[in-house]
Amino acid sequence: MIDIYINNEKLSVSEGKTVLEVCREIGVSIPTFCYDERLKVEGSCRICVVEAEGSGKLLPSCATQVSPNMKILTHSPKVMRMRKRLLETMLSNHDVTCLQCEKAGQCQLQDYAYEYDVDIEKYQGRKGSQDFVASNKFFYLSRNKCILCGKCARICTQLQGNSVWAMSNRGFETEINTPFGMDMEEAGCVSCGNCVSNCPVGALMPKFTGEKFRTWDVEKTQTTCPYCGVGCQFYLLTKNGKVVGIEPMKEAVNHGLLCVKGRFAFHFINNKDRLRTPLIRKEGRLTEATWDEAYARIEEKISAIKQTYGPDSIGVLSSARVSTEENYLAQKLARAVIGTNNIDHCARLCHATSVSALSQVFGSGAMTNTFEEMKHADVIFIIGSNTTEAHPVIGTFVKIAKENGAKLIIADPREIPLREYADVYIPHDSGSDIALINGMLNHIITNKLYDQAFVEERTEGFDELVGVLDAYTPAKAAAIAGVEPDLIIQAAELYAKGPRSSIIYGMGIAQHANGVDGVCTLANLAMICGMIGKESTGINPLRGQNNVQGACDMGCLPDNYPGYQPVALGANREKFGKAWGVTLPDTTGLTATQMMEAGLKAMYIVGENPVISDPDAAHVQKVLQSLDFLVVQDIFLTETAAYADVVLPAASYAEKDGTFINSERRIQLIRPAIAPIGDAKPDYQILLEVMSRLGYENNLHTPEEIMQEITSVTPQYAGVTYPKIRRSNGIFWPIKAEEENGTRVLHSQSFSRGKGLILPVRYSPPAEETDSEYPIILTTGRVLYHYHTMTMTGKTQGLMEIAPEGYIEIHPENAARLNLSDGEEIRVVSRRGAIRAKAKLTDRIKEGIVFIPFHFKDTHVNVITNTAYDPTAKEPELKVCAVRLEKV
Amino acid sequence: MKNEEEKQIILDIIREHSEGPSSLVQVLTLIQEEHGYLPMNVQQLVAQEMKIPFSRVFEVTSFYSRFTTEQKGKYEISVCLGTACYVKGAQGILDEIKRRLNIEENQTTEDGLFSLVASRCIGACALAPAMIINKNVFGLLTKQKLTEVLAMYTESNAEV
Q: What is the per-residue pLDDT for A674?
A: 98
Which of A380, A348, A392 has the alpha carbon at shortest distance from A229?
A392
The predicted-structure confidence for A445-456, as pLDDT tens digits, reads as follows 999 999 999 999
Task: Say whether A396 sits in a helix, a strand or coil.
Answer: helix
Residue A118: pLDDT over 90: yes
Chain B: residue nearest A421 by CA? B51
Query: Before B129, cis peptide (omega within 30)?
Result: yes
**Max Cα distance, chain B (Å):** 50
| Beta-carbon contacts of residue A421 (< 8 Å; ≥ 6 apart) | A161, A398, A399, A402, A408
Answer yes or no: are the C-beta atoms of B102 and B160 closer than 8 Å: no
Residues of chain A contacting residue B53, judged by C-beta atoms under 8 Å apart: 157, 163
Residue of B nearest to A186 (CA): B54
Q: How far is A158 from chain B (nearest CA, A)?
A: 11
Q: Which of A163, A169, A170 comes nearest B55 by C-beta?
A: A163
Q: Is B53 on the interface with A (CB under 8 A)?
A: yes
Averaged pLDDT of chain A: 95
Containing A504, the helix (H) or strand (E) segment is: strand A501-505
Question: Any CB–CB contact under 8 A between B16 and chain A?
Answer: no
pLDDT given for residue B58 in this prediction: 97
**Could you tell me which residues come within 8 angstroms of residue A737 by beta carbon, excluding any fewer than 6 positions away?**
A718, A719
A positions 169-208 inside 8 Å of B (CB): 169-170, 178-180, 182, 187-188
Percent of chain A surpassing pLDDT 70: 100
Domains and CATH numbers, chain A: 2-75 (3.10.20.740), 126-264 (3.30.70.20), 300-350+547-717 (3.40.50.740), 368-541 (3.40.228.10), 776-887 (2.40.40.20)
* CA-wise closest residue to A153 among A188, A129, A125: A188
CB contacts < 8 A (A, B): 38
Residue in chain A lying closest to B49 (CA): A420
Closest residue by Cα to residue A339 from A693, A602, A585: A585
CA A351 to chain centre: 14
Q: Give the tens place of pLDDT for each residue, A569-593.
A: 999 999 999 999 999 999 999 999 9
Using a CB-CB cut-off of 8 Å, the residues of chain A touching B43 are: 179
Q: Which residues of B touch A165 (CB under 8 A)?
A: 55
Tell me what pLDDT residue A350 has: 86
Distance from chain centroid for Cα A604:
27
Which of B62, B64, B68, B120 to probe by mutation at the A interface, max A CB count within 10 Å? B62
Alpha helices in B66-121 (DSSP H): 83-87, 90-101
Pairing of strands A881-887, A776-781: antiparallel
Q: Which residues on B lie below 8 Å from A157 (Cβ)?
A: 53, 55-56
Residues of B in contact with A164 (CB under 8 A): 55
The answer to whether A167 contacts B53, with C-beta atoms less than 8 Å apart, is: no
Cα separation, A309 vs A831, whole angstroms: 34
- Nearest-CA neighbor of A226 among A449, A544, A552? A544
Interface check A114 vs B, CB under 8 A: no
Of residues B40, B53, B62, nearest to A168 (C-beta): B62
Q: How far apart are CA A227 and CA A393, in angstroms?
A: 12
Give the residue-averaged pLDDT of A272-286.
96
Q: Each residue of A770-813: pLDDT tens digit?
A: 999 999 999 999 999 999 889 899 999 999 999 999 999 999 99
CA distance B57 to B50: 10
Nearest CA in chain A to B68: A169
Closest CA to A742 of A712, A727, A720: A720
Dihedrals phi, psi of B123, to nearest 5 degrees: 85, 15
Is B59 part of the contact surface with chain A (CB cutoff 8 Å)? Answer: yes
Q: What is the model's pLDDT at position B156? A: 73
Quote the pLDDT of residue B160: 43
Residue A121: its pLDDT value, please? 87
Percent of chain A exceeding pLDDT 90 equals: 92
Chain A hits for B62, CB-CB cut-off 8 Å, are 166, 168-170
Phi, psi torsion values for A60, nearest 5 degrees: -70, 115
Residue A548 has pLDDT above 60, yes or no: yes
For residue A170, which residues of chain B lie inside 8 Å, CB to CB?
A: 62-63
Q: Any chain A CB within 8 A of the CB of B62? A: yes
Q: Is A505 left (phi over 0), alpha (psi -120 to 50) or beta?
A: beta
Query: Which of B24, B51, B54 would best serve as a mutation to test chain A binding (most A beta carbons within 10 A)?
Result: B54
Question: CA–CA separation, A13 vs A5, rounded Å?
Answer: 10
Q: Which residue on chain A is closest to B63 by alpha carbon?
A: A169
Give the closest residue to A687 by CA, choosing from A259, A325, A169.
Answer: A325
**What is the average per-residue pLDDT within A49-73?**
96
pLDDT at B155: 84
Per-window interface: A 436-465 vs B, CB < 8 A: none
> Computed from CA positions of residues A821, A823, A826, A832, in that sequence, does the dihedral angle turn out positive or negative?
positive
- Residue A413 phi/psi, 5° resolution? -70, -20
Collect contacts of A179-183 with beta carbons under 8 A, ≥24 apart. A179/B40, A179/B43, A179/B54, A179/B55, A179/B57, A179/B58, A180/B40, A180/B58, A180/B69, A181/A133, A182/B40, A183/A135
Which residue in chain A is spatially nearest to B52 when comparing CA positions?
A: A163
Question: pLDDT (tens digit, 9 = 90+) per residue, A231-266?
Answer: 999 999 999 999 999 999 999 999 999 999 999 999
Whole-angstrom distance, CA of residue A672 vs CA of residue A88 = 43
Tell me the Cα Rg of chain B: 17
> Which residues touch B156 (CB under 8 Å, ≥6 apart)?
none
Which chain A residues have a beta carbon less than 8 Å from that of B59?
Answer: 166-168
Positions of chain B with pLDDT under 50: 159-160
- Give A179→chain B minimum CA distance, Å: 5
Closest Cα in chain A, distance from residue B56 (Å): 6
Of residues A783, A535, A755, A565, the one with CA closest to residue A664: A535
Beta bridge partners of A332: none
CA distance A280 to A379: 55
CB contact under 8 A, B54 and A170: no
A483-495 pLDDT per residue, tens = 999 999 999 999 9
User: Omega of the bond prior to A427 within 30 degrees of 0, cis?
Assistant: no
Q: Burial level of A452, CB count in 10 A (0-12/13-18/19+)?
A: exposed
Q: Is the ipTM of this complex over 0.90?
A: no
A166 touches chain B (CB under 8 A): yes
Q: What angle do CA A299, A300, A301 make, to 5 degrees?
A: 100
Contact A187, A78 (CB under 8 A): no
Residue of A nearest to B40 (CA): A180
The Cα A454–Cα A526 span in angstroms is 11
Q: Is residue A49 predicted with pLDDT exceeding 90?
A: yes
C-alpha B149/C-alpha B138 separation (Å) is 8
pLDDT at A547: 96
Side-chain half-sphere of A231: how many Cα atoms within 13 Å?
A: 29
Which chain B residues have a beta carbon less than 8 Å from that of A163? 53-56
Selected for mutation to probe chain B from A167, A180, A415, A421 (highest B CB count within 10 Å) is A180
B22 in contact with chain A, both atoms CB, cutoff 8 A: no
Q: How far apart are CA A800 and CA A797, in angstroms?
A: 5
Q: Give the one of B43, B55, B59 whose C-beta lies nearest to A164's C-beta.
A: B55
Instruction: Give buried/exposed letters for B125-138 (b at 16+ CB in 10 A, else e).
Output: bebbbbbbbeeeeb
